[in-house]
Structure 1
Amino acid sequence: MLFFTSFLASLSFMTRLGPARIYDDKTVAATIGWFPVVGLIIGTIVTLPFALGVLGGQPWVQAWLVVGGSLTLTRALHWDGWADLFDGWGSGARGERFWTIVKDSRNGAFGVLAMVMGIAGQIILLHQALAAQAYGVVVFAFIMGRTVSVCTAYTGRHLTRDGQGRLFLSGATTPIVLLVIIQTLCAALFVQPLIFLLPTALLAGLGIMEMALLARTHGGMNGDFLGAAVIWGEISTLLGWCIAMNLTRNLLPLFY
């Protein structure tokens, strides 16, 4: 029963696709194991029309609509955490002052800059992937984003603060994280070329380490960290693919 209920809860919390209802703490904590699946669902919904030929030959428009579609499906949940965390990080504040800035519903200069750079970056990177008809990479970016969030939660599972984020952190146990990584690696097998996983993993790992360090520095981790990690994972995947494609084009002629 928890298996099915936690899946519905994951859709309810992370997207507009699940039933709106209140779930108990145990169910919410269990949703973290479904994060890659939720990413697969979101990625498929926003990418499939273009894979089927809608607006073919117009990758800029497609990229803009993919970002807009994901914002709509997720209620911009993760972008809120992205902006909040950058506000706190950019302020240079320490201790409780850092958390006061992070929890402030108003966006500061660093949060606005992060939103502009993040959304513009996603559109540019998505354009490159969609122009190359790398639809699998686009879908995988949404999976990888949620996987990076789970891995980030694992690094901060002992640094919980008050709020709903603590439930997700408590659910990031070693077996669950391994399950999530296995799910993600299985999904990656359908995306070619696999070489893009190397720069993707490096970029994602750097983000996870930075957020883990930030959490330890300020004595806690909350849901904003997890939301920011989703965006970082998506950008890391798309940028990793661009890097891999560039290296492939430049290096292959050396061997032929």
Structure 2
Amino acid sequence: MTAKARYQAELFLLALGFFSRLPIPKETPYSEERMNQAGRYFALVGLLLGVLCAGVYTLSHLLFSAEVSLFLTMVFSLLLTGAFHEDGLTDMADGIGGGMTQEKRLTIMKDSRIGTYGATALIMALLGKYLFLSELAQHAVLIPTLIAGYVVSRALAASLIYDMPYVTDSDTSKSKPLANKQSKVELGILIVSGLIPALWLGVPLMLAVLLVLLLFRWLFKRWLIKRIGGFTGDCLGAAQQISELLAYLVVLSWLGAH
């Protein structure tokens, strides 16, 4: 393996170790610069996680109903990521829902305790995911939709780093090394790696999903800037969760219309 290829492989491993509980080699080099560059592989990490979850569903469905298999798959997914993105959604909902000023919202987001807004958002997100996937299980597109949802949602979330300011001032923020900046090359890698797996849905449906997600990204970005002046790591987790749900919902509406 050439030095350049090895460097890229190490960046992917850093992204995998950051965004999942999957083990990576202990000797994988780490620095804030490398961690920042590793964000380019967020969508590819999503692809790996999506394939693993699809495998769990497929094997479970050999023994259990679709509903039970989906429940087991969701449990596996939460264990696989350590509920990383769900935690971000919860913290963002608590902060923006419970704070009256930008400073207060950011302070609440850093609080590990869960409040009413966060609990409500988490329950609705998990319930929505189960309901949407249960409906998709009645069609042949469940597996490609599941994988595409994992990939495009992570590409969208990471793309917010490119054109939004990072507003948290905590030196201990776990997302700070990742969120400092994003180059055009890194954004391009995110977009390409996010689009290719989505082609499995077919070009017309993929374009419909992307159109809705781009609209969501634009609205979400404006909303975050208005509320907190930019984004935090928790906001990226929330963006991933919401855009994943939106992707499933678009596919369901497409199936209903066709």
Q: TM-score, normalised by structure 2?
A: 0.87
Contact 2:92 2:238 in 1 (8 A): yes
Residue 249 of structure 2 is aligned to residue 242 of structure 1: no
Residue-pair matches, total: 247
User: In terms of mean alpha carbon deviation, does 170-179 or 152-161 score higher?
Assistant: 152-161
1:81 maps to 88
Q: After TM superposition, give the deviation of residue 152 of structure 1 in Å.
A: 2.0
Q: After TM superposition, give the deviation of residue 213 of structure 1 in Å.
A: 2.3
Provide the rounded CA distance (Å) in 2 between the counterparts of 1:121 and 1:81: 17
1:252 maps to none
Q: After TM superposition, give the deviation of residue 72 of structure 1 in Å.
A: 0.6
Amino acid at match of 1:8: L
For the aligned residue pairs, the C-alpha RMSD in angstroms reads 2.2
Amino acid at match of 1:29: N
Provide the rounded CA distance (Å) in 2 between the counterparts of 1:76 and 1:97: 25
1:213 maps to 222
Amino acid at match of 1:197: M
Contact 1:12 1:20 in 2 (8 A): no
Of 201, 208, 226, the match for 2:210:
201
Q: After TM superposition, give the deviation of residue 55 of structure 1 in Å.
A: 3.7
1:149 maps to 157
2:145 maps to 137
Provide the rounded CA distance (Å) in 1 between the counterparts of 2:19 and 2:78: 11
Of 5, 27, 50, the match for 1:43:
50
Contact 2:57 2:73 in 1 (8 A): no
SS in structure 2 at match of 1:168 = coil
Residue 127 of structure 2 is aligned to residue 120 of structure 1: yes
Contact 1:15 1:75 in 2 (8 A): yes
Provide the rounded CA distance (Å) in 1 between the counterparts of 2:67 and 2:191: 31
Provide the rounded CA distance (Å) in 2 between the counterparts of 1:198 and 1:3: 29
Residue 15 of structure 2 is aligned to residue 10 of structure 1: yes
**Percent identical residues:** 25
1:174 maps to 184
Change (3 A) 1:136 1:164: same
Change (3 A) 1:133 1:66: farther
Residue 120 of structure 2 is aligned to residue 110 of structure 1: no
SS in structure 2 at match of 1:166 = coil
Which segments of 5 or more consecutive residues in structure 2 lack a partner in the other structure?
1-5
Amino acid at match of 1:216: I
Which segments of 5 or more consecutive residues in structure 1 lack a partner in the other structure?
249-256
Contact 2:60 2:69 in 1 (8 A): no
2:37 maps to 30
Of 57, 61, 81, the match for 1:54:
61
Provide the rounded CA distance (Å) in 1 between the counterparts of 2:78 and 2:47: 15
2:174 maps to 164
Amino acid at match of 2:50: G
